Amino acid sequence: MKKLLAVGVIVLFLGVSVIPSTGTTDVKQITMPISSGNTLYVGGNGSGNYSKIQDAIDDASDGDTVFVFDDSSPYKEGININKSLNIIGENRETTVLDGEDVFIEDGIIVDIRSDFVYFSGFTIKNRFKGVELFYMDNSSIINNKFLNVENAVYLHYSSNNTIENNLIIEGENVVFDFTGIYLYESDNNLVSGNTVIGKKWNKFDSGINVGFSKDNVFLNNTFFNLTFLAWERDFANNFFEGNTNNGKPILCLNGESNMVIDDAAQIALIDCNNILLTNLEMSQLHLGIILSNSHYCEISNCTFTQNYVGIRLASSSHNSITENTIKNGFPKLLDIDMTIGIWLEASSYNTITKNDISTNGLGLNLEESDGNTISHNQIMRNRAILKLPFFGWSGGLNLYESNDNIISSNTFIGNLPHAFFRFCQNTWEHNYWGRPRIAPKIIFGLTYGGWMEPPKLTFEFDLRPALKPFNI
């Protein structure tokens, strides 16, 4: 006889996953396959039960259920699900798929290569990828546990799937960048109620990583010691609600105005106006605060430490960044990436004043951003050891194709270099440049060469440098 189940009937989620509708979000229904087939058993003591999960999958047909008992666990195998099946473990804590010391193609423990797969009730551990969907749709990954897996759930060009109520723990054996749930060019998915726990800070360790994906719903996910890794296009094109990091909310506001925010772990403002962000502490994040197409906002009296980027403005104008402390730390010796204090891209007529911008790889970075005022800041000890410091990848202030900015009354100390510009013209007034200076200070940069010629070295002047540092 087959092992008796605690519950006599296996209840499958055959309907739809539903979340409350909103006026701005069209959440598509995600359907599951109808379980009209047979049930195949793995483990247990029943006659005819399989000893390997893959053998049961190979013998199953679309619509069948493969039920896996825990008394033969751990199952030392990787599985390829190439049919529309329900794969159900008896208990997610004790029904284990272990990839350690087992040959698994591409390092994927659960490789889903069919639409309409329901996978639930397992612990998946000790491999590069836990579950991967590659060009697969309408599947559900629900109520699983992941441990020591560098990429727990990976969706690549896959849509209309549900990732729900999973527990993902980074574990001590993860060496490279860790991602709990990764969506790449994957649309209309529901990611809800997952808990992702990180062990240490790495600026690219993420609870959820979103790249070039749209119309997804991220609802009530909980992170510890991790970041929500996304850029402005990803925050703008997806729906976020109820997500937290270390007990504080991860906020993505779209089209809001006239608000004060003083409690959040991470903030994205999309198409917002007149928002005050104040008295926030942001640490160990990919992006602390990002403004996209947002105007007349203020970021003040906030502290940023150990982030990849403290503050980023994209296509945002007439904002104020004042009296903040931004110390994201130096990049590692061999790190190919940077830490950046404040980053403006296509953002003009903003005011950056009275900030302490110190000990970053790059203090301030302006790209295609004109008419900004940068004044009365302490810009100190920003450098990256193995970067090319005179090509804008290191130092206090970098300007690239950014014109008519006013840089005045700042204190530059210990940066490598203090400032550098490429293909632009700006005004430098009365800054302190590491020591008292009577003669004008030369600021080096690059300008365009002739036809088919490389850029040429050029320079601008601070004609009246300050004789002593400024206090902020």
Residue 28 inside a domain? The answer is: yes
Report the pLDDT value the prediction gives residue 276, as an integer from 0 to 100.
98
Give 40 or 331, the one with higher predicted confidence: 40
d(CA 177, CA 199): 12
> Would the pLDDT of 5 be above 50?
no
Q: Which long-range CB contacts under 8 A does 126-135 form with residues at least 24 apart?
A: 126/98, 126/99, 126/100, 126/173, 127/78, 127/99, 127/100, 129/154, 130/154, 132/108, 132/156, 133/158, 133/161, 133/186, 134/158
- Percent of the chain at pLDDT > 90 equals 78
Report the pLDDT value the prediction gives residue 33, as an integer from 0 to 100.
44
Look up the CATH number of the domain holding residue 38.
2.160.20.10
Report the pLDDT value the prediction gives residue 410, as an integer from 0 to 100.
98
DSSP assignment of 188-249 equals: S-EEES-EEE-SS--TT-EEEEEES--S-EEES-EEES-EEE--HHHHHTSEEES-EETTEE
**E strand residue ranges, 271-332:** 273-278, 281-283, 287-292, 298-300, 303-305, 309-314, 320-322, 325-327
What does each C-alpha distance from 153 to 181, 235, 313 come to in angstroms? 5, 20, 30
Report the pLDDT value the prediction gives residue 201, as an integer from 0 to 100.
63
Domain limits at 81?
1-246
* Tokens encoding 317: 């104008």
Give 5 or 68, the one with higher predicted confidence: 68
Give 117 or 225, the one with higher predicted confidence: 117
Residue 295 inside a domain? The answer is: no
d(CA 350, CA 469): 24
Report the pLDDT value the prediction gives residue 383, as an integer from 0 to 100.
87
Report the pLDDT value the prediction gives residue 262, as an integer from 0 to 100.
98
Residue 208 inside a domain? The answer is: yes
Report the pLDDT value the prediction gives residue 18, as an integer from 0 to 100.
36
Residue 64 inside a domain? The answer is: yes
Report the pLDDT value the prediction gives residue 315, as an integer from 0 to 100.
98
* Tokens encoding 385: 């050891």
Worst-scoring range by mean pLDDT, 4-13, 112-121, 169-178, 296-305?
4-13
Report the pLDDT value the prediction gives residue 263, as an integer from 0 to 100.
97
Q: What is the mean pLDDT of residues 364-391?
A: 87
Whether the Cβ atoms of residue 217 and residue 183 lie closer than 8 Å to each other: no
Report the pLDDT value the prediction gives residue 6, as an integer from 0 to 100.
36
Relative to beta strand 298-300, strand 273-278 is parallel
d(CA 230, CA 186): 14
Q: What is the mean pLDDT of residues 302-306?
A: 95
Residue 210 inside a domain? The answer is: yes
Report the pLDDT value the prediction gives residue 13, as an integer from 0 to 100.
37
Report the pLDDT value the prediction gives residue 1, as an integer from 0 to 100.
43
Residue 320 inside a domain? The answer is: no
pLDDT tens column, 397-432: 999 999 999 999 999 999 999 999 999 999 999 999
Report the pLDDT value the prediction gives residue 28, as an integer from 0 to 100.
36
The total number of structural domains in the chain stands at: 1
Residue 388's Cβ-count burial label (10 Å; 0-12, 13-18, 19+) is exposed
434 closest CA partner among 396, 472, 399? 396
Which residues partner with 3 through β-bridges? Answer: none
65 closest CA partner among 4, 13, 137? 13
Banded model confidence at residue 2, pLDDT cuts 50, 70, 90? very low
Residue 334 inside a domain? The answer is: no
Report the pLDDT value the prediction gives residue 42, as an integer from 0 to 100.
98
pLDDT tens column, 68-108: 999 999 999 999 999 999 999 999 999 999 999 888 888 99
pLDDT tens column, 26-69: 443 333 444 669 999 999 998 999 999 999 999 999 999 999 99
Give 120 or 128, the one with higher predicted confidence: 120
Q: What is the mean pLDDT of residues 443-464?
A: 92
Residue 344 inside a domain? The answer is: no
